[in-house]
Amino acid sequence: FLYKRMQRSGYLRRDVQRLVNNDRNVFSACMLRFDDADGMVTGVTRHFMNTLSDVRIVLDEAPGARLMGMSIAIARGRTLVIADTNVTEFPDSAALADIAEGAAKAARKLGLNPRVAFTSYSTFGNPPGVRTETVKHAVQLLDARAADFEYEGEMAVDIALNPDHREVYPFSRLSDAANVLVMPAVPSASISTRLLKAAGGATVIEGLLVGLERSVQIARLGSNVSDLVNLAGMASFDLTHRE
């Protein structure tokens, strides 16, 4: 299987065999691919994108899914799903719409009724900016797709999380505070989630990987035992929506 997959990328059979024998991520991904394991937790001693590249040698995206990073923040009785936190650094409108759909499906698997906010420094056109147009178009794409969950944007995050925001913006399509935040780019997502964890007193499960054909979670460098236990639970739960 793996040799056929890689032979057009310049790999000889012995190169592929050496890769499987010597790289734990490739070996483990092969175990998942052939149903010798149900989930995988890796990382800790390697950078996220290097680890993901190893895994992607073997595994593809799940049919109809977008590969993305996701974090779950729990604070003051509120659960927030935040995406994309790792994979697509500067998503275009189509990618943002895909991320919203994937995050909403993952939120449903967590027992939430998804209310998605496309976050921005702007709220409904004020102040205007080039990046806000990308977010607005993502909302229009979901309209065209007839998405089956609540969504709205572009919105500043404090507006999105305010349950009374409809008093100021009565045209908002969200029935309550957002519980799924689609970030405009990975840098803002990463900064937000780490700030929540470091200064906001929230419990944050970071860097969940959603959208692969098998369940893989990649821990951040220096993750502690609690982080690994949480990721193992998520690997067994598998947040990717599969029909």
The H or E element that residue 24 is part of is: helix 24-33
Q: 123: which DSSP letter?
A: B
**What pLDDT, on the 0 to 100 scale, is given for residue 226?**
84
pTM reported for the whole predicted model: 0.86
pLDDT value at 101 more than 90: yes
Contacts of 134 (CB under 8 A, 6+ apart): 92, 93, 96, 184
Q: Mean of the pLDDT values across residues 101-130?
A: 90
Q: Mean of the pLDDT values across residues 122-137?
A: 85
**What pLDDT, on the 0 to 100 scale, is given for residue 180?**
96
**What pLDDT, on the 0 to 100 scale, is given for residue 147?**
93
| Strand partners of residue 209 | 69
Tens-place pLDDT, residues 158-205? 999 998 888 888 999 999 999 999 999 999 898 888 888 787 777 888
Q: How far apart are CA 120 and CA 185, in angstroms?
A: 10
Q: How far apart are CA 121 and CA 200, in angstroms?
A: 20
Tens-place pLDDT, residues 15-25? 777 877 888 88
- The residue ranges of DSSP E strands in the chain, in sequence order, are 39-43, 68-75, 78-83, 115-119, 150-155, 180-182, 203-210, 215-219
The closest of 51, 31, 37, 44 to 238, measured between CA atoms, is 37
Specify burial of residue 177 (Cβ count, 10 A radius: 0-12, 13-18, 19+). middle
The closest of 189, 180, 192, 187 to 117, measured between CA atoms, is 180
**What pLDDT, on the 0 to 100 scale, is given for residue 3?**
57
Residue 141 pLDDT grade (very low, low, confident, very high; cuts 50, 70, 90): very high
Percent of the chain with pLDDT over 90: 36
Q: Respond yes or no on whether the N-terminal peptide bond of residue 127 is cis (omega within 30° of 0).
A: yes
Q: Give me the chain's average pLDDT, please.
A: 87
**Phi–psi pair at 96, nearest 5 degrees:** -60, -40
Tell the residue number behind the tokens 């929506």, with chain if given: 241
